[in-house]
């Protein structure tokens, strides 16, 4: 029955269901802290959601410089508030896990995730700064020159590359590198550079 309702909602309000789901807080079950390995997996999933939301905000803000949209501004602002809350909630959860008896690898994973959430929150803050610049340009009825727009597009494109490399980096550190089979803290990802 719930699948039918979800399907019906997607058909009647296209695009809105995914957006609403993107604007929810991840669930971090306090009962799982008794089992640090399981709790860390849940925290990792929440950190990945935070990463995705920070990236979504970054890409959405880039579009405001060419086509200003109040709905995008509202969603970016809401998502930034969520990023702020996620940093606190995930950070608190990770600290509680670290109070349990954990091994060195779990301790390193907690440290890395704490760094990541701080960086994602900072990306969110920078995104708000960009959004405010786009708002000022819109209100002043100023637009970029052709050259400036090309450079803005280039910056936007480099952001998507950074996101791809970041996800590859996280996967190799957690699961092991496919090219060489190495996993762990000191491993660096293999990134091909086009000639």
Fold of 26-143: Methane Monooxygenase Hydroxylase; Chain G, domain 1 (1.20.58)
What does the pLDDT read at residue 11?
Answer: 47
Structure tokens at 53: 């939301």
CA atoms within 13 A on the CB side of 29: 10
Domain residue ranges in the chain: 26-143, 144-189
Confidence of residue 146 (pLDDT cuts 50, 70, 90): confident
What does the pLDDT read at residue 194?
Answer: 40
What does the pLDDT read at residue 9?
Answer: 45
Residue 23 pLDDT more than 90?
no
What does the pLDDT read at residue 193?
Answer: 38
Q: How does DSSP assign 82-106, residue by residue?
A: HHHHHHHHHHHHHHHHHTS---HHH
What does the pLDDT read at residue 12?
Answer: 42
* Helix, coil or strand: residue 28: coil
Residue 172 pLDDT more than 90?
no
pTM tops 0.75, yes or no: no
Computed over every residue of the chain, the mean pLDDT equals 78
- Give the residue-averaged pLDDT of 51-60: 92
Residues 107 and 139: their CA atoms lie apart, in Å, by 48
Structure tokens at 116: 């990541």
């Amino acid at each position: 029955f719930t699948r039918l309702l979800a399907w019906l909602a997607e058909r009647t309000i296209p695009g809105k269901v995914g957006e609403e789901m993107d604007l929810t807080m991840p669930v971090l079950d306090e009962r799982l802290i008794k089992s640090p390995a399981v709790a860390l997996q849940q925290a990792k999933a929440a950190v990945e959601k935070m990463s995705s939301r920070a990236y979504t905000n970054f890409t959405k803000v880039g579009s405001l410089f060419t086509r200003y949209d109040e709905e995008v501004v509202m969603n970016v602002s809401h998502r930034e508030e969520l990023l702020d809350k996620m940093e606190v909630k995930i950070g608190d959860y990770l600290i509680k896990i670290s109070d349990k008896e954990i091994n060195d690898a779990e301790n390193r994973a907690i440290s890395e995730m704490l760094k990541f959430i701080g960086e994602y929150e900072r990306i969110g803050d920078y995104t708000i700064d960009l959004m405010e610049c786009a708002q000022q340009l819109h209100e002043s009825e100023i637009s970029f020159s052709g050259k400036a727009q090309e450079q803005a597009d280039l910056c936007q494109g480099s952001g998507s590359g950074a996101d791809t490399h970041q996800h590859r980096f996280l996967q190799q550190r957690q699961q092991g590198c496919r090219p060489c089979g190495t996993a762990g803290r000191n491993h660096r990802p293999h990134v091909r550079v086009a000639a």
